[in-house]
Chains A and B, each alone.
Chain A
C-alpha cells in the first residue's frame, strides 16, 4: 500500500530534550516536506526537500533541522524542544520536485513539550 508513515504518532516530552520524528514514504517520491498545524493558522511549512541531500527552509524553520540521506526518509529533528513547538506535525511527499503536485500526507504526530 502506497503511504507516508510517521513515528511516533504521539509524543510528550520536556523542554530541551532532543527528539526525532521519523517520516518514510514508499512511493519513490522526490519531494518531501514537513508542516506544523496550529489552530487558526492552518498548515505552515517547516522544511522541504526536492531530492536526496537537497533541503530548504519553509515558512517556519526556526528550532528545527531535517536531513535527506535517502530518498524514502525525511526525519524532523528538534535539538532543544520548547513549549512553543507543541503542535500537530505532518510529513508529506509528492512525485514532482515541488509541492505543486498532489502531496500525500502522513497521519500526523501530536507533540507536546512541557
Chain B
C-alpha cells in the first residue's frame, strides 16, 4: 500500500509566491525523485536525490533528501503560471526495486 505521505494535497497561490511541499515516510528510502505532471500527460522528472542530506537545485526548484532518509521536500521560488500541475515525490523503497509514489500535490497559480 501507499507508504509515502505527501503534503499538502493542493495549493492555491499567487504568481510570484514561493511554494513548499514535502514527503514523509515511516520507511527508509534509497532515493527520492520529484516529478511534475501536466494535464493530460505523463509525469516528467524535475529533480533526483541519491544521498541522505543532499540538497539539489534545478533553476527555481530546490529539493533535499532528509538525513534520516525518510523524508524530502521540494521548494519552488517565485512561482509562475506554467508551474501549474501535479507534483509527485517518488522513491525506491529499501532493498526492493519497486517504486513508491506520493499521492501528489496539485498546484494552482493565480496570475
Contact = CB atoms under 8 A, between A and B. Distances in A.
Interface in A59-96: 59, 90, 92
Contact of A108 (B41, B44, B97, B103): B41
A41 B48 contact: no
Q: How large is the interface on A (under 10, 10 to 19, 20 to 34, 35 or more residues)?
A: 20 to 34
B41 A33 contact: no
Contacts of A56: 97-98
B42 to A, nearest CB: 3
Contact of A43 (B1, B31, B43): B43
A59 B42 contact: no
Nearest to A38: B103
B2 A41 contact: yes
Contacts of A100: 30-31, 33, 48, 50, 92
Residue among A42, A98, A101, A108 with max Cβ neighbours from chain B (10 Å): A42
> Which label, helix, strand, loop or mixed, suits the secondary structure of the B interface?
loop
B107 to A, nearest CB: 15
B103 A99 contact: no
B73 interface: no
A92 B2 CA distance: 19
Contact of B103 (A40, A45, A50): A40
Contacts of B100: 45, 59
20 contacts: A40-B103, A42-B102, A43-B88, A44-B2, A57-B98, A58-B99, A59-B1, A99-B90, A99-B92, A99-B97, A99-B98, A100-B48, A102-B45, A103-B43, A103-B45, A105-B44, A106-B42, A108-B40, A108-B41, A108-B42
Please list the 8 inter-chain residue pairs (A to B) with the smallest Cβ-Cβ separation, ordered nearest first: A105-B42, A99-B99, A43-B101, A42-B103, A102-B45, A42-B101, A98-B97, A100-B31
